[in-house]
Structure 1
Amino acid sequence: MRRTTTRSGRERAALDAAYQECRRLVRTTRPTEHALMALMPPSAQPVCWALYAAFGHADDLLDRSEEAPGERGRRLREWRAALEADLASGTSDDPIRLALTDSVWHWGLDLADLLGALDAVQRDDDREGVATWQEWRERAHAQNVSWPEQLMRMLVRCGLPVPVRLRDLPGFTRFVEGLFLTDMLRDLPEDLDGGHVWLPTEVLDRFHVTPADLLSRRWTPAVQQLIAHLVGEARAWLESSRRALRATLPLGPAIVLDTTVDLFGAELDAILRAGPAVLHRQIRVPGHTRLRILGPARARAAVVWRLTLPPGGEAATAPARTPAVDRTAAPEFSMATRISEPPLPPRPHRDGARPPEIAPAQLPEHVAIVMDGNGRWATRNGLPRDEGHRAGAVALRDVVQGALEIGLAHLTVYAFSTENWKRSPDEVSKLFAIMRAELLDGELLDHDVRLRWIGSPDGLPDDVVDVLRSQEHATRNRTGLTLNVCVNYGGRAELARAGASLARAALSGEVDPARVSEQLFAAHLPHHALPDVDLLWRTSGELRVSNFLPWHAHYAELHFTDQPWPEVDRQDLWQALETYTHRKRRKGGRVAE
């Protein structure tokens, strides 16, 4: 469902006030989290406030010690039911629900995940405690995995390719557990005020501490050892998750990750130093420590977002729709279930640019692109080379949308050549991580794009092969643009495989060597059904074709541009197509005057 209504001035003012109320709640109740939200792109920060305020409000409804447990549960059920109704209608008279509803509508957040997290909070009303670490972890994951994934989804909508399905990444569950345990230690006095001890009985027994010891605020040597152990566990989980996640995230989210681990680590230091006070009041990080951590992080984040996000990248460029809620769906990721039916129309250009009027008969059928200059662009801007590859993925998204808009039938892009293995192992590893994340979390499954993989699986990581094949299968019935992605591809290797196939056919007697023709040779190519390339475009000022589609591009018109690939968008594609319409396609013959 898409939202097309325009808000009046009064509605806009009410919505701004709702977001500011969420910001006030987060800033006053969770200053650490509020400070970390300031590291996100400015256009995404209000949604961070709305998400966290909604989860915090739901949690607060259950923590009201002055009300009976049944009454607290009833209030939360009513609030959740009202939220679901508001999400269906697109508006609300409650400021927190209004801001969250607008965020879901505007950013295309995962409604099923959000409501599932609230359901997990609600289940705490019937709990007395948790017995084992496994039970504790299930509670932590159910309540906390969804909202960082929604933040990643917003970055995707801003134009940054990041892994939305964080729960599939190595180390992410430990990251959630480290945050949850730190938060639990920080909130220990409030939980004790409400009569709750959420620490696993398993760890209490290990240190010979009873819930009664904690509820009575007795600071015994055993309690001191317990707190020190939990602080150490939380710190170890956060640091190990930082090491595991760092290589899979682009520079902007990595800055947020590093700052989160550093700031929560400072909280753990403060908790450890607080001694008996940890049972009586919430422990805060000293102001000078917060400033030492946050100051440089804010400056770095501002520079990175400016360089890596498209100009004007914000939610307005994303399809605003409310995802369907399916509570019966299996929690495991399945690309086949994520595909949009019917496909969404192409996403508009961020500046409202429209494609030129080119008659279908004048359009090339097949355009191939050598996406060159990612690493040089990053180096020129003082960034690691992998940030160039991430920015290149953003550029490709926009070019694909432009190809859909103008009605192009086939687009082939050179994503990783057999010669690219000569690069450093670190760069190759990060490039594949970016490629996998982009394929999983990009926009292909929302639009009328059929993806086909051209290349060899030899040497590729299994997860990259799996996602390429899964995307091929998921999009096999699309009839709009065919996007051929060349991964681990080499033109000479392709010709050699065709020759070997033809030789085997000759040895078996299936083919007469004296009758081998171009058509017969082409039939033995790995992708013989691929149409000939009409236009081959290379960016970044290089004037060569680099072993790219030598058979299919034998009569291609060549188009070279100077800008590096990360600076390209769909308007550059349209300009290349307009240039093509002025070429005279002789193919060895004579063009009639």
Structure 2
Amino acid sequence: MPGIAGAPQHVLAAGITRAASRQSYLTIRWLADPRYRADAFALYAWFRWLDDMVDERLPGGGSRLAFVARQRRLLALATDGAPLPDARDGAWAPVTPEEGLLVRLGAAGAALGVDGEPLLGSLGAMLDVMELDVRRRGRPVTQRELDEYTRLLAVAVTEALHHCIGHGCPSPHDDTRYAAVTGAHVAHMLRDLVEDLDAGYVNVPAEVLDEPGASLADLHAPAMRAWVRDRVELARACFAVGRQYLERVEDPRCRVAGHAYTARFEWVLDAIEADGYRLRAGYPERATLRGGLRIAADAARSLLASDAVGPRQAPRALAVAR
């Protein structure tokens, strides 16, 4: 059962995607395999809805964990081909339209057999990301926890990409596979660090905060700026390794999508560097026409050239991406 059957589901998924990210919507329209385009919209839409539910709509840790557990149960039932419980099943509420996207994706992945493993791996990894998000909210976290968070997110995004764009075409399954998305997530965490603090997420590891001069109350202090600079360098090293990976991906549309994704976050790194590694509350320039043209130009340059990776940076990038 490749793809998602049913126009209402497709319309829902495409609408959520377009409202959340015009760039993602256009990338899917232009680059996704026609046979798996509906899956691409459903993956993005369900990821977006899942994140919004956990971050903004549910009132406490208990309800958030219960919500993630419910999604896991739905996925397990869908992959097993088991009937879904109905409202008569005690506390089981009816399946929402957004959850219907997950159910159909799970059934599609199971029907594809081995060929559906990237899709099911993506769904499972995203649920792991959400559970980690719930458990780390409002408390200090270690670098190991943040690295695991980034690794799971990289698995979810990378496997979704390979399922929907150039499905079945050869691609490396080595330490470089998740490097590009790892770099993107490191940049993403820096971009949203100030905003995430207000929501209760601390994206600075406890080990750094224990250093003299490091404080969340003063993100522009020298110690914090040094840490931001280190993360920027790590993200750039991940992007360089990721480009080398993309050169070995057979499908040209998948390569284009990967370079466009990288360029979107390299622009953030450029802005952070221009600010002297002082993080801001927001980076609105990326939403302007000029910002969009800059991202497009960077994506083209990324596609035409592969950056060299320094001898110190490459092992660090691969270690985080594993």
TM-score (norm 2): 0.70
Residue number in structure 2 paired with 1:68: 60
Larger radius of gyration: 1
Residue number in structure 2 paired with 1:177: 182
1:145 aligns with 2:147: no
When residues 293 and 125 of structure 1 are mapped into structure 2, their CA distance, relative to the original with a 3 A threshold, is: closer
1:154 aligns with 2:164: yes
Give the Cα separation in 2 of the matches to 1:13 and 1:200.
45
When residues 38 and 234 of structure 1 are mapped into structure 2, their CA distance, relative to the original with a 3 A threshold, is: farther
Give the Cα separation in 2 of the matches to 1:147 and 1:262.
16
User: Aligned-pair distance for 1:40?
Assistant: 2.0
Residue number in structure 1 paired with 2:132: 123
Residue number in structure 1 paired with 2:257: 256
Instruction: Indicate the RMSD between aligned Cα atoms, in angstroms.
Output: 3.7
Contact 1:38 1:45 in 2 (8 A): yes
1:270 aligns with 2:261: no
Give the Cα separation in 2 of the matches to 1:268 and 1:225.
14
Contact 2:247 2:255 in 1 (8 A): yes
* Aligned residue-pair number: 279
* Deviation by residue 1:281-331 (Cα, 9 ceiling, x = unmatched): 355424224224437979xx9xxxxxxxxxxxxxxxxxxxxxxxxxxxxxx
* Deviation by residue 1:496-524 (Cα, 9 ceiling, x = unmatched): xxxxxxxxxxxxxxxxxxxxxxxxxxxxx
Give the Cα separation in 2 of the matches to 1:234 and 1:207.
24
User: Aligned-pair distance for 1:146?
Assistant: 3.1
Give the Cα separation in 2 of the matches to 1:269 and 1:296.
11
Contact 1:170 1:245 in 2 (8 A): no
1:242 aligns with 2:243: yes
Residue number in structure 1 paired with 2:101: 99
Contact 2:214 2:224 in 1 (8 A): yes
Contact 2:187 2:269 in 1 (8 A): yes
When residues 104 and 112 of structure 1 are mapped into structure 2, their CA distance, relative to the original with a 3 A threshold, is: closer
Q: Which amino acid letter does the alignment assign opposite residue 241 of structure 2?
A: S
Contact 1:171 1:245 in 2 (8 A): no
When residues 290 and 245 of structure 1 are mapped into structure 2, their CA distance, relative to the original with a 3 A threshold, is: same
Give ranges in structure 2 of 5+ residues lacking alignment.
85-93, 304-322
Q: Which amino acid letter does the alignment assign opposite residue 222 of structure 2?
A: P
User: Aligned-pair distance for 1:24?
Assistant: 3.2
Point out the structure with the larger helix share: 2
Give the Cα separation in 2 of the matches to 1:173 and 1:185.
19
When residues 162 and 32 of structure 1 are mapped into structure 2, their CA distance, relative to the original with a 3 A threshold, is: same
Residue number in structure 2 paired with 1:40: 31
Give the Cα separation in 2 of the matches to 1:258 and 1:161.
17
Give the Cα separation in 1 of the matches to 2:157 and 2:128.
14
Q: Determine which of 292, 295, 308 is the counterpart of 1:290.
A: 292
Secondary structure class of the residue paired with 1:219: coil
Query: What pairs with 1:203-214 in structure 2 (closer than 5 Å)?
Result: 203-205=208-210, 208-210=213-215, 213=216
Give the Cα separation in 2 of the matches to 1:271 and 1:199.
16
Q: Determine which of 70, 77, 83 is the counterpart of 1:78.
A: 70
* Deviation by residue 1:456-486 (Cα, 9 ceiling, x = unmatched): xxxxxxxxxxxxxxxxxxxxxxxxxxxxxxx
Contact 1:271 1:283 in 2 (8 A): no
Give the Cα separation in 1 of the matches to 2:27 and 2:190.
19
Q: Determine which of 194, 197, 221 is the counterpart of 1:192.
A: 197
Secondary structure class of the residue paired with 1:145: helix
Q: Which amino acid letter does the alignment assign opposite residue 14 of structure 2?
A: Q
Give the Cα separation in 2 of the matches to 1:104 and 1:296.
35
User: Aligned-pair distance for 1:197?
Assistant: 0.8
Larger RCO: 1 or 2 (CA < 8 Å, sep 6+): 2
When residues 218 and 65 of structure 1 are mapped into structure 2, their CA distance, relative to the original with a 3 A threshold, is: farther
Residue number in structure 2 paired with 1:320: none
User: Aligned-pair distance for 1:184?
Assistant: 0.9
User: Aligned-pair distance for 1:234?
Assistant: 1.1
Contact 2:183 2:235 in 1 (8 A): yes
Give ranges in structure 1 of 5+ residues lacking alignment.
302-593
Give the Cα separation in 2 of the matches to 1:170 and 1:63.
31
User: Aligned-pair distance for 1:178?
Assistant: 0.6
1:17 aligns with 2:11: yes
Give the Cα separation in 2 of the matches to 1:90 and 1:207.
57
Q: Which amino acid letter does the alignment assign opposite residue 233 of structure 2?
A: G
